[in-house]
Amino acid sequence: MKALIAGMCLAVAGITACNNSSGSAKGGGVNAAAEKTQQDTAHFTTIQWVDSLVELGSLTMGEKSEVKFRFKNTGSYPLVIANVVAGCGCTIPGYTKEPVPPGGEGMVTGAFDTKKSHPGNLRKNIMVTANTRPRQQFELVFTGTIQDIK
């Protein structure tokens, strides 16, 4: 049963990576290395998110903000981020593209543009796929409030 679930997770991760039209994982070398790492389940590692929920507070409509999610490789093998996808068009994701060595730290970022959102409360997410156990996918969330300009 565990093998079936693991296989399904890898299949979903592979489909997600192949359907990434936002260009979040640019560069053939990085993408090929990430795909190879996702298939090498014997060398999966562990991750600890320092920040997985970020509160932006109050933003004014038209303002741009950058959110940062830090992580640490707590395992024994290099950690590779295979895919990063923003939940909406108002956020442009970024991430540490080089493998993070054991004990090393990396970051996932999101450039958020309030002009592409609406006034009021906001809750946005960024989905991350990595060569980690027991999970390969993580949802990073940022929240806040957008004030309308009157």
Angle between helices 2-18 and 28-39 (to 10 degrees): 170
Distance between CA atoms of 72 and 74, rounded to whole angstroms?
A: 6
Distance between CA atoms of 95 and 106, rounded to whole angstroms?
A: 8
Q: What is the CATH number of the domain that holds 74?
A: 2.60.40.10
The confidence score (pLDDT) of residue 11 equals 47
| Structure tokens, 105 | 């730290």
| Structure tokens, 110 | 């999101």
Number of compact structural domains in the chain: 1
The confidence score (pLDDT) of residue 39 equals 64
Cβ atoms of residues 46 and 78 within 8 Å: no
The confidence score (pLDDT) of residue 112 equals 95
Mind listing the pLDDT tens digit of every residue in the chain (150 residues)?
Answer: 445 454 544 444 444 443 443 444 444 455 555 565 566 677 899 999 999 999 999 999 999 999 999 999 999 999 999 999 999 999 999 999 999 999 999 999 999 999 988 999 999 999 999 999 999 999 999 999 999 887
Q: Give the structural domain span for 29.
A: 2-147
Read off the pTM: 0.73
Distance between CA atoms of 44 and 38, rounded to whole angstroms?
A: 8
